[in-house]
Structure 1
């Protein structure tokens, strides 16, 4: 673990022209890997031993360092170490997904009332598009991120300046942001067997065209009633219509696993439909209990194996991105930055992704050595084994063990200093709040 952390921080060193922000970045990564209950400028500064949050805030907001270059370093590190942790031939999948962060106010880059997956409804917050690298049988990590910025923020010069939006920034849909993330990954030499994503990305024609132009196979979710397929004979049907016409017979369906979950194999009924193009297919997944259908539009370039088993395997490897995002939030503070500027948000994301990558590749490296689980039961009445064994070390356990070994106990003097600093800062803020209210009251009276 320590070696992986040291190797990554050494690789990141050229991204920093000066030693001070480089050292502060290393402390920041270590702090988000800690057991802090909440990670923001104040708590991180206190944990790493600073007397004020100035250095941490400067690192994110004003210090000179190559944020995009740092993202590239983290990406190449994660991909190389995950590849080294598994056998050749296992699928390499790039997974696209977005994740939100609920926020108050309107002063943060990208903030808007919008659908937030984390809230399950329309709420005020920001959304970021992520690219995850999943290596079957090894592990997964986040290797790219781009915040989604509403068009009205980009076109409003005042908002653009106050939120630190780059001058060259233009509006991009989530699908177009995904194209940028994949382009960066390809530039870094990342090679993928498949790209997967939900309906947001399956509906993006520009993304599908980009992938096909690059000879990139994909398995993208699409909507049942709005996505249409060109089938043989010149017919054009929606996904639902295609299923009703071509998959009425039970023998067209096969029961396959979409991969192992914590409760066992995730088995569904699967079927596929050929289209007018020999490279495109509709992959249909049916829930065995509810009968609910999910549709995947697939592209497999000429010369690559196009089998139902391979498409199912790719579709099943989409879920780990949710695990990476959840671990990023719960364990490393991916959504706890409390920053406002566009660059500061990106810098927080890349440093958290660095921490996540270190733990993910460490867990992948010891996956097989730490998996001692007993064999699975063969019938419902089988007695449990005397020793069930252990599941492999997870990212959460790797992080927990690392913190237990390295230890971090602040002095009483340091704790007292930060207690005084927080209370003084809050008193200062409270005084200005009261003065602002007085100002408002005087204006109303006059």
Structure 2
């Protein structure tokens, strides 16, 4: 039994060291000390076994009595989400990149109850398997013999959003953001990957994307 606990403890220690190394790559993107601390706790909460993950549950994971701190991280603290994305993409590709690597483009839905979340409307979600109130995100995954990881993301904004500048402003969406189809979002992410100098053996998408000549 003692040996078993030693093995578990060693795995946890190595996992913690790996997490700390990865977070160190992006910590500098969070200027304020409190934003860095909360970003670290937020990520640990996302990696936890909690069934539901929102500002309340992640705050509880961090030992906070209210979600105010986590909401400040998401809504008020200044940090560059795209720079964090680029840092993490470079980190995972350092371990996974392969000349025959496969890049997978696909979307997923996030079921919502309200109307304030950016991009939310009644639309088909493969996650739910039906039309419902949800957000849709388009993602890139890199796959090789060494493993797989998400490396990029774009939030799909329907015309009901991009055509309503007041609604966009309220949700923090800049005036420069225009409507783009989901295949265009996938193409945009693939372009960023290729611009970073990564060799791609294959790019795969489902029929809804593959039928688009631009992809």
Of residues 202, 209, 224, the one that matches 2:210 is: 202
**Pair 1:132 & 2:141 matched:** yes
The 5 Å alignment of 1:313-352 reads none
User: Take 2:18 and 2:86, find their aligned partners in 1: how far apart are those partners?
Assistant: 17
Q: Which runs of 5+ in 2 are unaligned?
A: 1-14
Runs of 4+ in 1 over 6 A off after TM superposition: none
SS in 2 for 1:36: coil
Instruction: Give the CA RMSD over aligned residues.
Output: 1.4
The 5 Å alignment of 1:27-42 reads 27-42=41-56
User: Take 1:189 and 1:62, find their aligned partners in 2: how far apart are those partners?
Assistant: 33
Equivalent pair of 1:114/1:124 in contact (CA under 8 Å): yes
Equivalent pair of 2:101/2:142 in contact (CA under 8 Å): yes
Q: Which runs of 5+ in 1 are unaligned?
A: 208-446
The 5 Å alignment of 1:262-341 reads none
**Pair 1:25 & 2:39 matched:** yes
**Pair 1:71 & 2:79 matched:** no
Equivalent pair of 2:165/2:175 in contact (CA under 8 Å): no
What residue in structure 2 maps to residue 60 of structure 1?
74
Of residues 170, 176, 182, the one that matches 1:174 is: 182
The 5 Å alignment of 1:181-220 reads 181-207=189-215
Alpha-carbon distance, 1:78 to partner: 1.3
What residue in structure 1 maps to residue 124 of structure 2?
115
Equivalent pair of 2:162/2:177 in contact (CA under 8 Å): yes
What residue in structure 2 maps to residue 308 of structure 1?
none
User: Take 1:160 and 1:54, find their aligned partners in 2: how far apart are those partners?
Assistant: 23
User: Take 1:55 and 1:64, find their aligned partners in 2: how far apart are those partners?
Assistant: 14
User: Take 1:170 and 1:29, find their aligned partners in 2: how far apart are those partners?
Assistant: 30
Aligned length: 201
Alpha-carbon distance, 1:183 to partner: 1.9
**Pair 1:149 & 2:149 matched:** no
Equivalent pair of 1:45/1:56 in contact (CA under 8 Å): yes
Equivalent pair of 2:45/2:61 in contact (CA under 8 Å): yes
What residue in structure 2 maps to residue 95 of structure 1?
104
Of residues 32, 47, 51, the one that matches 2:61 is: 47
The 5 Å alignment of 1:342-381 reads none
Q: Deviations over 1:220-253 (max 9, x none)?
A: xxxxxxxxxxxxxxxxxxxxxxxxxxxxxxxxxx
SS in 1 for 2:154: strand
Alpha-carbon distance, 1:61 to partner: 1.0
Alpha-carbon distance, 1:150 to partner: 0.6
User: Take 1:77 and 1:196, find their aligned partners in 2: how far apart are those partners?
Assistant: 22
